[in-house]
Structure 1
Amino acid sequence: WRLIDTKIVQRIRDFTKRNYRFVIFSNQAGISSGASPLKSVQKRFEDAIKRINIPCIAMLATKDDIYRKPRPGMFWVYQNSFNDAVEISEKFMIGDAAGRKSSIKKDHSAVDILFAYNVKFDSFQTPEDFVASKPMQSSVQDAMTLYSTNLPSFRPQSLNENNKFVACNDSGEYFKSIQELLESLPSKAILFVGLPGSGKSYFFNNHLSKHGYKEVSRDRLGSMDKCEQHIKKLISEGETKIVVNNLNLEENGRRKFLQLLPGLVCFYFHSTRSQCLHLNNYRRLMRQMNADYEYAPVPEPVIYANEKKLNEPTKDEGFSSVYRISFIVGDFDSEQQQQLFFMYL
């Protein structure tokens, strides 16, 4: 290793003299994978810190978990356990992973600038600009513009902007509330269609179960045959509020349910692949932090594979109506969960 420029030491020292604290946040997943021996990584950091000769805290994320940038875990640990209860009035980040996409300087990723954005740093700068003493941008967002950051295709904050309507039907009617939606249904038998991570189970648990709907789920029952048997059992018991909560991506697979449940309504959860990947990643992180978290993630390749199978449902298949369901953000167990949900993960 070597310093990118010897002037960086004086630049860091200038800020520490003004009561800034020097903290290193680094992704080092190679430690857990075996690609980078722990002692080798430790020596590299110790040599660098010794050369810089300025007191600092170094935090290394060794796994693909909540601590890996751009996720906020390392900063949360620093803030809660290593900051001596001092209020942080100003913070900025220097990082080379700014998502620059130009042919002159193309970055390997954007994790540093996204990390700074997620944890609400005041600004961000690349090492070259920091050494050159260039003025910092007034916000991380302005820095993203300056560096032409190649942002992920999905913006998590958009999930908080989709709540104007909960659904629309094939006649072009929009519904502002769950109650309004349920009152419009021509039948109380509902079939869900949507990719893994599109919010089907969350929608059922938070909006339909409380209204007396009974769930039929392959994930819970184990096979499609058992789903059919359970539907027949519910019908024989006089149940009319039945929800088939499976992927139901292909038209051929939906036919059996149309035959079993005359007048069947379709709820199509039309989340994009990038949105499903974000929601699935959130589930994965929540499961890592809490084994009892209700919603299980799937391997990412499953989402890509199922996207290819998706036949968008239409009324022509025999549904009494098809509703496009918007993703509805519900309540969170903690402020930290809510913050994480809207971050780049």
Structure 2
Amino acid sequence: MALSSQICYLRCVNTQKKVNLPHQKPVRIGRNEETGITDLHVSRNHLECTADLDTSKVILKTLGKSYSGCNGYALIQNRTYTLKHGDRIEVRLGFHEFDIIFESEDEPATKKGRLDSFAMNSNSNKKLSNSGKWEELDGRDLLIFTTDNCEPQSAIAAFDLDGTLIKTKSGARFPKDPDDWISHINSVPQKLQKLYDKGHKVVIFANQSDLSNDFSKVKGFKKKIEAIITKLSVPVQVFIATGKSIYRKPAPGMWNVFIESKNGGVAIDIEKSFYVGDEAGRENNWAPKKNKDPSICDRLFALNVGLKFYTPEEYFLGFPPAPHIMPEFDPRRLSNDAYPQIATGKQEVIIMVGTLGSGKSHFCKNFLVPKGYVHVSQDKLGSWKKFTKMLEDCLQKKQSVVIDNTNPDKESRQKFIDVAKRKQVDCRCFIMTTSHNHVKHNIRFRNITDKSQLPVGDLNLNSYKKAFQEPEMAEGFSEIVKIPFIPKFEKAEHEKLYKMFLLED
């Protein structure tokens, strides 16, 4: 039914009590007569709802101290969310449920069904299953859907989603709405049916980083997955990585969850299993009038987990393998370089040069500090005044100092050299040789394994790259020493992960 969105209100699931939401007028709901809520855990102004009758959206802002919810998910306090018709609000998480209703004045809206179950019918109209189960891990970083009739198998036929099993109906690169999809290749359903008949388990592994906190997107995407499975007409298990965690391909997180807990304890026969994906590192014109692949993450995902890899054209259409470009940095082939001789036996200032993620701070703390160098970082001290005072105090006490800043250009290095000269102390430059792509790998690894670390974006790395000036002896250095990156691991699983491809290109 098409909604004209002339009226919007909240309808209590239990009492059918209505709370009107006028066009673009904020309405605060909570513990009051209008909602019928008397729960002391709910404040009088617990949520703020603003309806837009033109777009059929409701902007929801959380105000109260007790957590609220939507569609079974907890809402983060002091956040704003975009909701739509049929979304269910829990004023207090798990309690006081209200549905969002948009309807025309002369055509009341029917109550929308939940998305937790659906009917799946094959092309022959034979009923396969009438329900499936959605699960979420790590705060919705990973969504999993399993049809009730999806059985564990040793042979796995794994697929990417967009550009592999489906494509946009509109022809746009990204779908315009949850209904903007069709089969990528006409033979996809038939091919999957044959795999299923031969004893393969069909599994989908997909990245979808745009779902975030917009519950209308999450709900719409779930419905889209269910519709796709209905079209495919075979039992399927679906893994969706929604964030930037270890679950996002090419990292192996989704595969690890699958083999450890989502295949009924049945061991995988790698020789009989494979993965099909469209992001394969192919360059422009890999086939006539074909653009380059946006990334190589599908090929790298298969490589990381040990599966044979095919592109959709190879698997569904029988195309020969197309040339592809592998990443410049290969974590499987780490350098065997060793650190050079470091200490000189006399007082000095060492100026580090290297971007975030180059291993600069690791080197300082693990190899210079144990040799008696005082570790000085403006990031920790804050102001330049505090920084220079500590540097001068250390030099006055005849201590050697290592300056752990990025120091990309001559100007940033010169002020430290000048302090050393005033104190008549030699100044050496230690420059990290870690490549740009190796740095990006380090940062991605750190973000996966240590969630206390703040993310470092490409803007920071590119700013350093743009500002970088190669250190020269003429700046006043007594020596320039190149320092390689040498990783150190506290856990065996961290070393295993580090030696996998973690970047998407």
Q: TM-score, normalised by structure 1?
A: 0.81
Work out which of the residue numbers 374, 380, 383 in structure 2 matches 1:220.
Answer: 380
Question: Per-residue deviation at 1:187?
Answer: 5.3
Deviation string, structure 1 residues 167-202 (Cα, Å, up to 9, x no partner): xxxxxxxx3xxxxx1256775431111122211001
Aligned to 2:466: 308
Question: Per-residue deviation at 1:328?
Answer: 0.9
Aligned to 1:113: 299
Number of positions where the alignment pairs a residue of Structure 1 with one of Structure 2:
313
CA 1:219–1:341: 2 relative to 1, 3 Å: farther
- C-alpha distance in 2 between matches for 1:98 and 1:73: 19
Question: Per-residue deviation at 1:78?
Answer: 1.4
SS at 1:264's partner residue?
strand
- C-alpha distance in 1 between matches for 2:459 and 2:345: 35
Work out which of the residue numbers 222, 232, 246 in structure 1 matches 2:405.
Answer: 246
Q: Which moved more, 1:317-326 or 1:277-286?
A: 277-286
Whether the 8 Å contact between 1:163 and 1:329 is mirrored in structure 2 is no
- C-alpha distance in 1 between matches for 2:446 and 2:184: 39
Higher RCO (CA 8 Å, separation ≥ 6 residues): 1
Work out which of the residue numbers 431, 439, 449 in structure 2 matches 1:268.
Answer: 431
- C-alpha distance in 1 between matches for 2:203 and 2:332: 28
Aligned to 2:442: 279
Deviation string, structure 1 residues 109-152 (Cα, Å, up to 9, x no partner): 3221121122222x1112232223579xxxxxxxxxx3322333
Work out which of the residue numbers 202, 215, 238 in structure 2 matches 1:22.
Answer: 202
Question: Per-residue deviation at 1:27?
Answer: 1.5
- C-alpha distance in 2 between matches for 1:184 and 1:21: 63
Work out which of the residue numbers 230, 252, 265 in structure 2 matches 1:50.
Answer: 230
Question: Per-residue deviation at 1:87?
Answer: 1.7
Whether the 8 Å contact between 2:381 and 2:387 is mirrored in structure 1 is yes
Which residues of structure 1 form unaligned runs of 5+?
Answer: 136-145, 167-174, 176-180
The structure with the largest alpha-carbon Rg is 2
Work out which of the residue numbers 165, 173, 183 in structure 1 matches 2:338.
Answer: 165
> Quick one: percent identity of the two aligned structures?
31
Q: What residue identity is the alignment partner of 2:405?
A: N
1:66 partnered with 2:66: no
Q: What residue identity is the alignment partner of 1:329?
A: P
Work out which of the residue numbers 309, 323, 327 in structure 2 matches 1:148.
Answer: 323
- C-alpha distance in 2 between matches for 1:321 and 1:5: 62
- C-alpha distance in 2 between matches for 1:193 and 1:22: 50
Whether the 8 Å contact between 1:249 and 1:310 is mirrored in structure 2 is yes
Whether the 8 Å contact between 1:67 and 1:73 is mirrored in structure 2 is yes
- C-alpha distance in 1 between matches for 2:211 and 2:226: 16
* RMSD, matched Cα: 2.5
- C-alpha distance in 2 between matches for 1:274 and 1:229: 36
Q: TM-score, normalised by structure 2?
A: 0.57
CA 1:339–1:64: 2 relative to 1, 3 Å: closer
SS at 2:284's partner residue?
coil
CA 1:47–1:35: 2 relative to 1, 3 Å: same
Q: What residue identity is the alignment partner of 1:52?
A: L
Whether the 8 Å contact between 2:251 and 2:500 is mirrored in structure 1 is no
The structure richer in helix per residue is 1
Matches within 5 A, 1:32-111: 32=212, 34=214, 37-90=217-270, 91-103=273-285, 104=288, 105-106=290-291, 107-111=293-297
1:194 partnered with 2:369: no
Whether the 8 Å contact between 2:377 and 2:405 is mirrored in structure 1 is yes
Question: Per-residue deviation at 1:341?
Answer: 5.2
1:256 partnered with 2:415: yes
CA 1:86–1:267: 2 relative to 1, 3 Å: same
Q: What residue identity is the alignment partner of 1:277?
A: K
The structure richer in strand per residue is 2
